[in-house]
Structure 1
Amino acid sequence: MSLFKSRIRPTLGSVIGRGHLIVALVGVAMASVSLTLLGVLALRVYADHNLHLIARSINYTVEAAVVFDDKAAATEALALIASTEEVADAQVMDEQGELLAHWQRPETGLLSDIEMQIARVILEKPISMPIVHQGQEIGSILLVGHGGSLMSFLLSGLMGIVLCTAISAWVALYLARRQLGGITGPLRSLATVAHAARIERAFDQRVPPADIAELDNLGNDFNALLDELESWQTHLQSENETLAHQASHDSLTGLPNRAFFEGRLMRALRNAGKLDERVAVLFLDSDRFKEINDNFGHAAGDAVLVAVATRVRAQLREEDLVARLGGDEFAILLTPLHKAEDAERIADKIIASMEIPIQLPGSTQVLTSLSIGIAVYPDHGVTPGELLDAADAAMYQAKRLSRGAQQTAGAELPVAHVQTRN
């Protein structure tokens, strides 16, 4: 039961709802934290940097007055700069640390108090900077910042807030798109597999598992449909192959039929013409088939045909072809043929294989023989019809010579004979 529960996938509604909630929380949290930190840091850095710049400017201005210990000049120079900058209090001390000049911004009203409070919150401490003349420290400056210019810092902070908001929006958009990808990804995979099945008949492809329960169930149902289609396609292909084999092969011997043989012969002649090769066609006929069929029945005749087909096929090379043309007639295609003597040698082997008796149904054995005619491309013909006719004529000539030899010898059984078409 626990294993079943562990495999339960979340629903589409729960995934989207949880995703939206996470995106909203992450966006708000990032925006709040980022805006707060950046606002404070921006104000502090800007105010501190500006106060240091003012201190350097006063340093350069009052340096001569400190060297000559001129309080009036130092006070005038200090007031000239401090009054135009965001400074609440400025002091110039000599080398002994005694006050040489002092300037303080007049406190006027509530606004000034607010600005001072802002300065105390934002600025950590007053700025102290030494006055150096010719490499020797001759005095120091102490500055306390004023909050008036921090309004510009607040504007800078607002710009930082806008930037942080934009970043938060981008992060939220990224998470939302990622969540959307978890939905559209499986659907896209399903569409791709469906397109391949519809256009290319690729029923072997499958939709990958999805993390969302509804999409995973949809993919599983579609895969089950593909399983049925693939099974149907395999069955149909098997039936087509069976029908194609039956259409091009003899049902009794399993050998190719005349149509298959002639098509193969046509391609062999076309290739032989391009490669300047020779091709041989052998026409075979059983000398005693009618006698065996009449005396022992059709089952015996079928057994003889099967035995002849098996023995002939055993004498050929893998690339050679033997076919049953009909009745007790067979044809052999030898390609490529290196020399005519090779065809005669194969014919002799086939004839020799017939010397072993053939077992008929029951306990009867018979001995049969073959007459073989040979025609060679391009010597005896250049088309399939010419070669088959030439081999057929050579076979009948061999059969006549065989019968003449039997009558002369007084033999009861015919002797097999090979004749090459001249």
Structure 2
Amino acid sequence: MSLFKPRIRPTLGSVIGRGHLIVALVGVAMASVSLTLLGVLALRVYADHNLHLIARSINYTVEAAVVFNDKAAATEALALIASTEEVADAQVMDEQGELLARWQRPETGWLSDLEMQIARTILEKPISMPITHQGREIGSILLIGHGGSLMRFLLSGLVGIVLCTAVSAWVALYLARRQLRGITGPLRSLAAVAHAARSERAFDRRVPPADIAELDNLGNDFNALLDELESWQTHLQSENETLAHQASHDSLTGLPNRAFFEGRLMRALRNAGKLDEGVAVLFLDSDRFKEINDNFGHAAGDAVLIAVATRVRAQLREEDLVARLGGDEFALLLTPLHKIEDAERIADKIIASMDAPIPLPGGTQVLTSLSIGIAMYPDHGLTPGALLDAADAAMYQAKRLSRGAHHTAGSEHSVVHLQTRS
């Protein structure tokens, strides 16, 4: 048992989608932070300028109260202006620096503490402005700004960042899926065609065109490769079929050879045993082949073998089989066969087909005849070898009898017939 689990590879869709999402979020975050910082900087400048304006306004208002050292008037004037502005603490001092009047924004809990903390962090130092009368300094004003506007701005900026991030994430995912379809669609098609070619040897499938040029070129190159593979596969199949045919067929007559015949006979016997049917094996031999071969040459002998193969094949049914076992020996497989008379009738037709002369190279013609032995399954054998031996023995008996007269004889088994024709 392996101690290491196989690494799960991410899909192209997840990689592209994650990349789009990260880029969108980083872009939105950077833009939002930049805009917020610029807004805070602008608000800081505005707040500082506003405090200077408030200080001047207070200066004009409390000037008379300071001249007459009227604390009540100074306090009333200070409160009238400071309470309506972004001021947290306002102080009026006399000429000696003693506190003449003061106004402080009422505390309302943690929210006020937060506003003051923001004001101390972002705003500049408290503003101090002298109070002058007829060119002489008679006192001063100290103002500390309030961070309420800054806090509202920061909160609205934070909400804006969150909303923009959410919208950007949705847009990024939408665009990622849209782009993903254009990329992964052709890749999935290519992968499906490649899988079919690898696992099913289906080289006839092709990758469809793609909208993206690089993917379309990749698909075209892959299709061209499939064309070559399909052509190569067709060539190999053709060569394999040719080699298989050459291995199981006689090169001269085109008939199946002994190995093919015995394999087919084995299957026929197996089926016959299951279906309780008969099978006949006929062994054929040319009576004058050696004489023709010696007198007219090998080309004439080949012509005789080809003619015998053609004429024998013409007398058979579609499901029957004729094979060349070697030399001038042929074998027939008749299946299904219920009566030996049917085999005898086919043997008579084959022998009769030899009545016509066989043309030889050079314009010469010869007459030949066949000796045929018949063996029936299961009477004369239960295996391919036993049936072939029985038919061969019956053929030799027919050949011996053909030297004396035209007749039909039986072998040691009463149902093995020997057909001859001189």
Q: What TM-score do you get using the length of structure 1 for normalisation?
A: 0.60
Q: How do 1:27-46 and structure 2 match up within 5 A?
A: none
Please give the alpha-carbon distance, in whole angstroms, between the structure 1 residues aligned to 2:127 and 2:198: 79
Please give the alpha-carbon distance, in whole angstroms, between the structure 1 residues aligned to 2:261 and 2:55: 109
- Deviation per CA, 1:55-76: give whole Å up to 9, x if none: 9999999999999999999999
Please give the alpha-carbon distance, in whole angstroms, between the structure 2 residues aligned to 1:276 and 1:136: 141
Please give the alpha-carbon distance, in whole angstroms, between the structure 2 residues aligned to 1:156 and 1:291: 118
Shift of the 415–193 alpha-carbon distance from structure 1 to 2, 3 Å rule, reads: closer
1:373, 1:396 within 8 Å by CA — same for their partners in 2? yes
1:287, 1:414 within 8 Å by CA — same for their partners in 2? no
Tell me how far 1:221 sits from its aligned partner. 1.1
- Deviation per CA, 1:287-330: give whole Å up to 9, x if none: 11111111111111111100000000000011110000000000
Give the alignment's Cα RMSD to 1 decimal: 15.7
- Deviation per CA, 1:352-405: give whole Å up to 9, x if none: 111111111122111111110000100110000000000001111111111122
Shift of the 85–245 alpha-carbon distance from structure 1 to 2, 3 Å rule, reads: farther
- Deviation per CA, 1:205-232: give whole Å up to 9, x if none: 2222111101111111111112112211
Aligned residues: 422
Please give the alpha-carbon distance, in whole angstroms, between the structure 2 residues aligned to 1:411 and 1:273: 24
SS of the equivalent of 1:253 reads coil
1:380, 1:421 within 8 Å by CA — same for their partners in 2? no
Tell me how far 1:185 sits from its aligned partner. 1.9
Please give the alpha-carbon distance, in whole angstroms, between the structure 2 residues aligned to 1:273 and 1:132: 135
- Deviation per CA, 1:262-298: give whole Å up to 9, x if none: 0000011011111111100000000111111111111
Q: What TM-score do you get using the length of structure 2 for normalisation?
A: 0.60
Shift of the 179–72 alpha-carbon distance from structure 1 to 2, 3 Å rule, reads: same
Tell me how far 1:418 sits from its aligned partner. 3.6
Residue in structure 1 matched with residue 2 of structure 2 by the alignment: 2
Please give the alpha-carbon distance, in whole angstroms, between the structure 2 residues aligned to 1:341 and 1:135: 153
Shift of the 148–218 alpha-carbon distance from structure 1 to 2, 3 Å rule, reads: closer
- Unaligned residue ranges in structure 2 (runs of 5+): none
Shift of the 290–138 alpha-carbon distance from structure 1 to 2, 3 Å rule, reads: farther
Shift of the 409–136 alpha-carbon distance from structure 1 to 2, 3 Å rule, reads: farther
Please give the alpha-carbon distance, in whole angstroms, between the structure 1 residues aligned to 2:356 and 2:14: 83
Shift of the 283–127 alpha-carbon distance from structure 1 to 2, 3 Å rule, reads: farther
Q: How do 1:362-381 and structure 2 match up within 5 A?
A: 362-381=362-381
Please give the alpha-carbon distance, in whole angstroms, between the structure 1 residues aligned to 2:53 and 2:243: 98
Tell me how far 1:201 sits from its aligned partner. 2.9
Moved more, 355-364 or 311-320: 355-364
Please give the alpha-carbon distance, in whole angstroms, between the structure 2 residues aligned to 1:404 and 1:131: 162
Please give the alpha-carbon distance, in whole angstroms, between the structure 2 residues aligned to 1:265 and 1:209: 53
Tell me how far 1:200 sits from its aligned partner. 3.3
Moved more, 163-172 or 311-320: 163-172
1:255, 1:309 within 8 Å by CA — same for their partners in 2? yes
Shift of the 273–80 alpha-carbon distance from structure 1 to 2, 3 Å rule, reads: farther
Shift of the 280–228 alpha-carbon distance from structure 1 to 2, 3 Å rule, reads: same
Please give the alpha-carbon distance, in whole angstroms, between the structure 1 residues aligned to 2:41 and 2:52: 16
Tell me how far 1:192 sits from its aligned partner. 2.6
Shift of the 96–138 alpha-carbon distance from structure 1 to 2, 3 Å rule, reads: same
- Unaligned residue ranges in structure 1 (runs of 5+): none
Please give the alpha-carbon distance, in whole angstroms, between the structure 2 residues aligned to 1:47 and 1:100: 25
Please give the alpha-carbon distance, in whole angstroms, between the structure 2 residues aligned to 1:138 and 1:391: 148
Shift of the 379–109 alpha-carbon distance from structure 1 to 2, 3 Å rule, reads: closer
